[in-house]
C-alpha cells in the first residue's frame, strides 16, 4: 500500500489508503491549495516596492516567492489572506482588499 | 541441537532478546518485569549485543521512545507490567495505529487496587482493544518461543502491527524450570534483519508518520488496522510452522489438550493451563471425558476456530483471570460466548473468575470445576454464571 | 506430576531460602531431572516470613500452583515455628528439616501434631565455623539433599562446586568454606537418616 498521495481523495476506498495514513513523500503541503480559504486578498504594488524583503519571512504560508533577491507577485494558490505582509511593509506596497481577488 | 537449560521466564525472554539483538530498548523498571531490562542491560554492558538501551523516566516515555525509534527505522522493544502498561495506554494505541511492529515483553501483574504485585491478566486484558497482537504463554518455554516468533509476525508485510508477548508474573517469570533453547545462529536466521521499506531516518525518501486525519479518512484507517489484525492470524500460523522446523515445537492459535472426545472442556489462558492439564490427566484415569483448550493468541481473537473446537462438547468452563466489572462476565467469558453464539454453536457455558491478584489456582479446584459442569449437564443443577473460585465467603 | 517430590521452604527475607530453592533446582537439573524452583512473593522485607518451593520429577512438570501437601519441608529459621504452620499438609511419610541447635526430641515437642520424621541441623554453627558468618542456606540445602535423596553425595558435591565456581567467580576465597559447610551438614543429616533406617529395620 505505497500510494501516490495525489491519487488519494475523500472518495478513495480504504483499500487504497496508506498504512497508518502515512505519507510517503516530502513537501506535500504544496499539493493542498489553501488559497481557496482566503476572504481578504493582498495586492502587490510593484512600483512602491523597494525590495527590502521584510514581507517574505513573515508570511506563514511561504506565499511570497523570491527569485534572485527580487520578490515577485503573490502565490495566490496558497495565500490565506492573513494580512501580516501588509502590516510589515514600510512602503505601502501591499494593500489588503476585501474578498477573493 | 537444542540446548537443555533451566531458567526463569524473565531469563528466558532476556535470552531471546540477546539472540535477536534488537536495535533499541527504552525501558522503565516495574515488578515483576524489572529483571528483563536489567538482564538485557547486562548483555549490553558485557558487549554481547549492541542494542541501544534508553533509560527513560516513565513507561509513558518508554513506549513513546519505542514508537519514535521504530518509526525511525529501528527494531525496537520494551518490557513492562501492570501500572507500567496502564501508563503506556495512549502510546499503545499510537503504536498500533501508526502500524509499528514494536515488541513488548509483558509480565502480567494485576492493576491496582488494592495495590498488589502478583499475577492476574487485568493489565493485558485492559489493553485488549488497543490494536496490539497478544500472545500468551503457559511456561518459560512458551514465553521464549513466542518471543522469537514475535518479530516475524509483527513485521510481516500484511501485518505491520505491534505485538505483546505475555507471561504470568512470578508464576512463570520468577519460576526456574527446564527449558530447551535454540542456538543463536538459528534464532538470528529465523528472525532475520529488519529492513523496513520506508522509515523516518531515510533522507533520500522523506515520509510523514502519524499525520492528523480528518473524519473522511480516519474510519478507513481504522478498518485497515482491523484487516491487518485479521491478517495476523494466518501469519501467526505460518510463522509457527517455520518455527517448528528449528525447534520441533508446535504452536497454533490455541492448544487442544484431550478435547477431541471431551464432554467437558476448560477454556483457559496462561500458566494455569498447565495445572488444568494435570487435573485432566488425573480425571481421565477415572474415566472422565475432560479436556483443556488453552488460548495462545487472544488478539486477533480466533472466534470461528474456537467455536469449531468447542462445538462437540456438552459444557465449557470459561476461565477469566481478570474481572471486567460489567456485571455479566469476564473478558474471555464475553468473547467466547459471543464466538459460540455468532457461529451458532449452542452449548452450556459457565464463566469462572479465578486467580485474581496472585490467588493460587490448584489441581483440586480444576477438578471441582469439571464436576460442577457435569452436575449441571447431568443433574440439571443451576450454576452461578459468573462465579469466583477460591473466594472466602 | 506423578512420580516427583515436592518441597516447601520456610525462611525469612534475607536468609537465602529462595536462593537455596533455586540452587536445588539447579543441581537437580544438572542430574537430568525436571525441576521447578519458585518463590511465593509477599511483602519482601528483611526478616519477613517467606516461602519458596521445589518440584523435582522424572517427568515434565506442568502444575503452576503452590505446594500444599509437600513431601519435605525445610525451615531455615527456627523462630518461624511459633508463627507459621510449617507442617501444614506435610505428608506423614515425608520429613521436616529444621535449622536449630536443639535436638529432634525438643523440636518434636513443639510440633506435637506432626508424627513424621524430624531432622535438625545447626546451620548457623556450621556456617559460622566454615564461613565465619551466618549464611544458613548452604547447610540447609545439603540437608534437604541428604534427606530427600534427590541425588547422591558425590554428584551433589561435584555439581555444587561447579555452581559455586561460577557464582563466586569474583570471590573464589569463599568457595572452600561453602563446600565445607555443605559437606558437614550433609554428613550430619545423612547419619541421622541412616540411623532412622537402621532402627526401622531393627
ipTM: 0.92
Of B97, B216, B223, the CB nearest to A20: B97
Same domain, A22 and A60: no
**Under an 8 A CB cutoff, do B206 and A26 touch?**
yes
Q: Does A4 touch chain B (CB under 8 A)?
A: no
Of B32, B175, B361, the CB nearest to C36: B175
Q: Would you list which residues of chain B are within 8 Å, Cβ to Cβ, of chain C?
A: 6, 32, 117-118, 138-139, 168, 170-172, 174-178, 271-272, 274-275, 277-278, 358, 360-363
Same domain, A24 and A41: no
Q: Which grid coordinates are listed for B201?
A: 531516518
Of B100, B198, B211, the CB nearest to A21: B211
State the Cα torsion B263-B268-B270-B272 to the nearest 10°: -70
State the Cα torsion B310-B314-B315-B316 to the nearest 10°: -20
- Distant-in-sequence, close-in-space partners of B307: CB < 8 Å, separation ≥ 6: B339, B340, B342, B343, B345
Mutate which: B176, B180, B294, B365, vs C, most C CBs within 10 A = B176
Are the C-beta atoms of C39 and B174 separated by less than 8 Å? Answer: yes
pLDDT computed for residue A1 by the predictor:
45
Are the C-beta atoms of C39 and C160 separated by less than 8 Å? Answer: no
CA distance B258 to B264: 10
**Under an 8 A CB cutoff, do A23 and B207 touch?**
yes
Could you give the count of Cα atoms lying within 13 Å of B183 in the half-sphere of its Cβ? 6
Of B197, B213, B223, the CB nearest to A14: B223
- What residue in B sits closest to A19 (Cα-Cα)? B99
Q: Does C29 touch chain B (CB under 8 A)?
A: yes
Which residues of B fall within a CB distance of 8 Å from C36?
175-177
Which residues of A fall within a CB distance of 8 Å from B206?
25-27
Are the C-beta atoms of B52 and B24 separated by less than 8 Å? Answer: yes
DSSP one-letter code for A35: G
What's the domain count of chain A?
2
CA distance C136 to C100: 10
Which residues of C fall within a CB distance of 8 Å from B178?
29, 34-35, 60-61
Same domain, A50 and A8: no
Q: Is B125 exposed, middle or buried (0-12, 13-18, 19+ CB in 10 A)?
A: buried
Per-residue pLDDT for C195 more than 50?
Answer: yes
State the residue range of the domain holding C19: 5-201
Of B208, B218, B219, the CB nearest to A23: B208
Domains of chain B from N-terminus onward:
3-247 (3.40.50.970), 254-388 (3.40.50.920)
**Under an 8 A CB cutoff, do B176 and C1 touch?**
no
pLDDT computed for residue A25 by the predictor:
86
Instruction: Provide DSSP, C8-67.
Output: EEEEETTS-HHHHHHHHHHHHHHTT-EEEEEEE-SS--TTSEEEEEEEEESSPP---S--
Same domain, A38 and A20: no
Buried b (16+ CB within 10 A) or exposed e, C113-147: ebeebbbbbbbbebbeebbeeebbbbbbbbbbbbb
pLDDT computed for residue A26 by the predictor:
85
Touching subunits for chain C (3+ Cβ pairs under 8 A): B
Touching subunits for chain A (3+ Cβ pairs under 8 A): B
Same domain, A42 and A91: yes
In this prediction, the residues of chain B whose per-residue pLDDT falls under 50 are none
Computed from CA positions of residues B62, B63, B68, B72, in that sequence, does the dihedral angle turn out positive or negative?
positive
Same domain, A69 and A48: yes
CB neighbours (10 Å) of residue B199? 16
Alpha-carbon distances, residue B132 vs A22, B166, B198, B209, C146 (angstroms): 18, 12, 21, 18, 50
pLDDT computed for residue A100 by the predictor:
78
Per-residue pLDDT for C138 more than 90?
Answer: yes
Q: Which grid coordinates are listed for B380?
A: 440439571
> Is the pair A, C in contact (3+ CB pairs within 8 Å)?
no
Q: Does B72 touch chain A (CB under 8 A)?
A: no
Q: Does C175 touch chain B (CB under 8 A)?
A: no
CATH number of domain containing C41: 3.40.920.10
pLDDT computed for residue C200 by the predictor:
77
pLDDT computed for residue C202 by the predictor:
67
Q: Does B380 touch chain A (CB under 8 A)?
A: no
Min Cα distance B368 → chain A (Å) is 48
Per-residue pLDDT for C2 more than 70?
Answer: no
What's the domain count of chain C?
1
Same domain, A46 and A77: yes
CA distance B72 to B199: 5
**Under an 8 A CB cutoff, do B221 and A14 touch?**
yes
Confidence of residue C46 (pLDDT cuts 50, 70, 90): confident
**Under an 8 A CB cutoff, do C65 and B118 touch?**
no
pLDDT computed for residue C11 by the predictor:
94
Same domain, A15 and A47: no
pLDDT tens digits for range A33-67: 889 899 999 999 999 999 999 999 999 999 999 99
Are the C-beta atoms of B328 and B290 separated by less than 8 Å? Answer: no
pLDDT computed for residue A99 by the predictor:
85
Q: What is the CA radius of gyration of chain B?
A: 21
Min Cα distance B213 → chain A (Å) is 8
Same domain, A59 and A13: no
Same domain, A64 and A21: no
Same domain, A88 and A46: yes
Q: Does C201 touch chain B (CB under 8 A)?
A: no
Min Cα distance A77 → chain B (Å) is 22
Mutate which: A21, A25, A28, A29, vs B, most B CBs within 10 A = A21
Per-residue pLDDT for A2 more than 70?
Answer: no
> Is the pair B, A in contact (3+ CB pairs within 8 Å)?
yes
Same domain, A10 and A38: no
- What residue in A sits closest to B222 (Cα-Cα)? A20
Which residues of A fall within a CB distance of 8 Å from B209?
20, 22
Mean model confidence pLDDT for chain C: 93
State the residue range of the domain holding A54: 33-98
Q: Which of B55, B59, B60, B57 is nearest to B24 (CA)?
A: B55
**Under an 8 A CB cutoff, do B198 and A27 touch?**
no
Amino acid at each position: 500500500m505505497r500510494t501516490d498521495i495525489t491519487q488519494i481523495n475523500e472518495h478513495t476506498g480504504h483499500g487504497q489508503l496508506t498504512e497508518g495514513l502515512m505519507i510517503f513523500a516530502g513537501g506535500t503541503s504544496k499539493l493542498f491549495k489553501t488559497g481557496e480559504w482566503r476572504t481578504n486578498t493582498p495586492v502587490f504594488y510593484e512600483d512602491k516596492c523597494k525590495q527590502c524583503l521584510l514581507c517574505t519571512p513573515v508570511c506563514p504560508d511561504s506565499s511570497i516567492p523570491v527569485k534572485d533577491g527580487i520578490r515577485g507577485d503573490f502565490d495566490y494558490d496558497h495565500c490565506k489572506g492573513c494580512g501580516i505582509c501588509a502590516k510589515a511593509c514600510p512602503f505601502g506596497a501591499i494593500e489588503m482588499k476585501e474578498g477573493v481577488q | 541441537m537444542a540446548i537443555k537449560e533451566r531458567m526463569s521466564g524473565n531469563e528466558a525472554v532476556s535470552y531471546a532478546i540477546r539472540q535477536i539483538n534488537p536495535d533499541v530498548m527504552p525501558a522503565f523498571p516495574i515488578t515483576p518485569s524489572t529483571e528483563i531490562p536489567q538482564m538485557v542491560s547486562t548483555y549490553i554492558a558485557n558487549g554481547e549485543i549492541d542494542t541501544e538501551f534508553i533509560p527513560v523516566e516513565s513507561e509513558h516515555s518508554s513506549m513513546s521512545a519505542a514508537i519514535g525509534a521504530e518509526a525511525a527505522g529501528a527494531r525496537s522493544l520494551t518490557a513492562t507490567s501492570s501500572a507500567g502498561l496502564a501508563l503506556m495506554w495512549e502510546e499503545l494505541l499510537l503504536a498500533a495505529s501508526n502500524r509499528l511492529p514494536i515488541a513488548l515483553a509483558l509480565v502480567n501483574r494485576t492493576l491496582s487496587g488494592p495495590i498488589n504485585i502478583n499475577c492476574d491478566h487485568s493489565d493485558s486484558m485492559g489493553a485488549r482493544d488497543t490494536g496490539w497482537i497478544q500472545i500468551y504463554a503457559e511456561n518459560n518455554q512458551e514465553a521464549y518461543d513466542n518471543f522469537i516468533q514475535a518479530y516475524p509476525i509483527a513485521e510481516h508485510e500484511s501485518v505491520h502491527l505491534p505485538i505483546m508477548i505475555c507471561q504470568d508474573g512470578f508464576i512463570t517469570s520468577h519460576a526456574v524450570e527446564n527449558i530447551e533453547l535454540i542456538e543463536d545462529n538459528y534464532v538470528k536466521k529465523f528472525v532475520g534483519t529488519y529492513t523496513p521499506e520506508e522509515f523516518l531516518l531515510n533522507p533520500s525518501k522523506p515520509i510523514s508518520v502519524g499525520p492528523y486525519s480528518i473524519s473522511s479518512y480516519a474510519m478507513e484507517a481504522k478498518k485497515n488496522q482491523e484487516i491487518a489484525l485479521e491478517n495476523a492470524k494466518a501469519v501467526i500460523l505460518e510463522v509457527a510452522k517455520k518455527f517448528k522446523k528449528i525447534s520441533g515445537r508446535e504452536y497454533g492459535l490455541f492448544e487442544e489438550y484431550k478435547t477431541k472426545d471431551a464432554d467437558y472442556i476448560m477454556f483457559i489462558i496462561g500458566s494455569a493451563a498447565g495445572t488444568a492439564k494435570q487435573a485432566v490427566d488425573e480425571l481421565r484415569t477415572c474415566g472422565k471425558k475432560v479436556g483443556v483448550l488453552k488460548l495462545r493468541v487472544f488478539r486477533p481473537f480466533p472466534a470461528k476456530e474456537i467455536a469449531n473446537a468447542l462445538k462437540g462438547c456438552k459444557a465449557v468452563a470459561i476461565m477469566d483471570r481478570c474481572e471486567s466489572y460489567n456485571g455479566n462476565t469476564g473478558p474471555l467469558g464475553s468473547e467466547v460466548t459471543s464466538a459460540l453464539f455468532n457461529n451458532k454453536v449452542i452449548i452450556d457455558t459457565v464463566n469462572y473468575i479465578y486467580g485474581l491478584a496472585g490467588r493460587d489456582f490448584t489441581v483440586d479446584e480444576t477438578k471441582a470445576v469439571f464436576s460442577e459442569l457435569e452436575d449441571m449437564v447431568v443433574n440439571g443443577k443451576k450454576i452461578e454464571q459468573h462465579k469466583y473460585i477460591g473466594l472466602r465467603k | 506430576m506423578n512420580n516427583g517430590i515436592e518441597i516447601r521452604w520456610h525462611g525469612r527475607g534475607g536468609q537465602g531460602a529462595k536462593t537455596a530453592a533455586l540452587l536445588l533446582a539447579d543441581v537437580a537439573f544438572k542430574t537430568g531431572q525436571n525441576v521447578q524452583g519458585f518463590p511465593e512473593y509477599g511483602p519482601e522485607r528483611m526478616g519477613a516470613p517467606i516461602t519458596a518451593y521445589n518440584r523435582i520429577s522424572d517427568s515434565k512438570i506442568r502444575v503452576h500452583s503452590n505446594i500444599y501437601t509437600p513431601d519435605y519441608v525445610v525451615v531455615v529459621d527456627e523462630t518461624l515455628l511459633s508463627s507459621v504452620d510449617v507442617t501444614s499438609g506435610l505428608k506423614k511419610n515425608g520429613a521436616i528439616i529444621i535449622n536449630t541447635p536443639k535436638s529432634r526430641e525438643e523440636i518434636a515437642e513443639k510440633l506435637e501434631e506432626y508424627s513424621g520424621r524430624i531432622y535438625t541441623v545447626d546451620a548457623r554453627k556450621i556456617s559460622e565455623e566454615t564461613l565465619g558468618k551466618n549464611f544458613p542456606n548452604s547447610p540447609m540445602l545439603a540437608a534437604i539433599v541428604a534427606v530427600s535423596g534427590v541425588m547422591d553425595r558425590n554428584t551433589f558435591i561435584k555439581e555444587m562446586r561447579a555452581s559455586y565456581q561460577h557464582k563466586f567467580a569474583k570471590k573464589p576465597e569463599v568457595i572452600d568454606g561453602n563446600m565445607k559447610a555443605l559437606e558437614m551438614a550433609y554428613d550430619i543429616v545423612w547419619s541421622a537418616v541412616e540411623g532412622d533406617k537402621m532402627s526401622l529395620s531393627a
